[in-house]
Amino acid sequence: MRRYSMNPGIKAGVRSVFAASLLACFALRAAAAEPAADPHAGHHPSPAATVIRSTANYSVPPIMLVRDDGRNVSLADELNDGRPLVLNFIYTTCSGICPLASHIFSQLQRKLGADRDGVHLVSISIDPEEDTPARLRDYASRYLAGPSWQHYTGTMAASIAAQRVFDVYRGDKMGHTPVTLVRAAPDAPWVRFDGFATADMLLQELHGPGDVTAAVSSLSPAGR
């Protein structure tokens, strides 16, 4: 049987190729073991996030939106129906900021108790191309939204215009940040919370510290 001897240079090259192949194999296995990147990772809430309170005056130009009942409405008219107002911006496929923001609105609605129909809660979609009125109604039902908590969609241009009015437009839906706006009366300035304001914080803006204590007390086990 004939034996063939390999040139030392070729032998070294083969070894190098074999070693590189092994390294590539290990790298692929390590990559496969890592969890897939979360497209919403940039706007998952941070437990240590702070809340910044400020006041502002916003002028709402003519903007037409579509309410979750399918009606075309003027944003200015919806915001000026005489009731105290709490406003946020959401979208239904959001997995980070929006569920928590909507949960806080749901808590606020519950804490308002018998007064909840006297406060208008407004959630405007920043993804109107996906968020049809029917989709918004389904989303609202997940958070037990009552008749005084309404959701709005419309054209992309209208949504962006509404976002710009309240200085929350961040280029696209993936860049949005948690902002809640409160106006205790039609002629009052807006109170802006950057970050996740709690339901109690919002309640305090609406009614004052004494009413917050009473409302929270009435919802505690001892008060039921």
Query: 16 in helix, strand or coil?
Result: helix
Query: 61 in helix, strand or coil?
Result: coil
DSSP tag of 130: T
Buried b (16+ CB within 10 A) or exposed e, 90-107: bbbebebbbbebbebbbb
d(CA 120, CA 78): 9
Look at residue 218 in the predicted model and tell me its pLDDT: 37
If you search the block for the tokens 């018998």, which residue do you land on? Answer: 114
Look at residue 174 in the predicted model and tell me its pLDDT: 80
Look at residue 210 in the predicted model and tell me its pLDDT: 39
pLDDT means per 10 residues, the chain with 224 residues, are 44 44 42 42 51 94 97 97 97 94 97 95 97 98 96 98 96 87 94 96 80 36 33
Look at residue 213 in the predicted model and tell me its pLDDT: 36
Q: How many CB atoms lie within 10 A of CB 59?
A: 6
> How big is the CA angle at 98 (ends 37 and 136), to the nearest 5 degrees?
115
d(CA 85, CA 75): 13
Q: Cβ(147)–Cβ(176) under 8 Å?
A: no
Buried b (16+ CB within 10 A) or exposed e, 9-40: eeeeeeeeeeeeeeeeeeeeeeeeeeeeeeee
Q: How many CB atoms lie within 10 A of CB 189?
A: 14
Q: Cβ(30)–Cβ(22) under 8 Å?
A: no
Look at residue 207 in the predicted model and tell me its pLDDT: 82
Longest Cα–Cα distance in the chain: 102
